Structure 1
Amino acid sequence: HTVLRQVDYDYQRMQYNTVVSGAMKMLNALEDFKAEAGSEADQAALAEGFGILLRALYPATPHVTHVLWTSLGYAAQYGELLDAPWPKVDEAALQRDEIELVLQINGKLRGSVTVPAGADKAAIEAAALASEAFQKQAHGATPKKVVVVPGRLVNVVV
């Protein structure tokens, strides 16, 4: 749904090259998805993902997506692709339990740190100082300053 939001925004701006890029991100995410054998929930998630991908690609590649929509059985289940509604971004699906922040040491990118989405500044600092990347770069030195940009990065000055 994060990529769908990007694709929808790019269509509105008529930035078709980034629409294709977003579609490739969707396809890569679907290919990387490890569905458990016999899991109906996983199969439903894959079907929803491919349905969104085909509807997002339809304005750019109508003939190919129409054939795929019909061949994969979406036409029998949901009707013709031409009549299918534009996919809606599910805001609930965008909520994340954890976020990944860029970790900089002395202003240079040295890795990343994963923290709970609602972590406060102190928790983010603690996670950054406990990270393997910081331990490797600090060589036992104590940090002079820790700068946290919420939702984006942590910069540790040694």
Structure 2
Amino acid sequence: MQADFEAEGQMTFLKDRDISLSLRLGQIRTDVLILERKIESETRGRAAAQRRRDELKHEQEELEKLREEIKKVLKTGEVNREVAILGAAEIEGDILALHRISDRDEKDQWIRLRLERHAEEMRELTGQAEELFGPNWEERIAEMEAGV
């Protein structure tokens, strides 16, 4: 009888212990699930942060390219402005020179010589362009101006 009582006591103790262990095991499983969710959430957060970092880096690269293009356009605009100023000064000089000539034949001769000089300058510039860029220099310059 004593042995039955002790055996029954041990069985009750083990059942209580089993319930306690089952509860603890359930808590551990719950904690593991919570930790797994946190890890997933943090991983998604890190992945999202990395994607955003990559997006910002790409955007920065695009802005740098745009900035360089703007610099080129500004430089081209400045060169074009200087060329226009020089051209305007040359035209102004030609007009003043023509105003000083009173005879019609002399004016015609001056204009003819000026046109010949201009044609010679254009031939020289065309020759220089062909030396630098080859026979299709006009296409190459157009491509450069277009940014191709």
Q: Which structure: greater strand fraction?
A: 1
Q: TM-score per shorter chain, which class?
A: under 0.3
TM-score by length of structure 1 reads 0.22
Q: Which has the higher contact order (CA 8 A, sep 6+)?
A: 1
Name the larger-Rg structure: 2
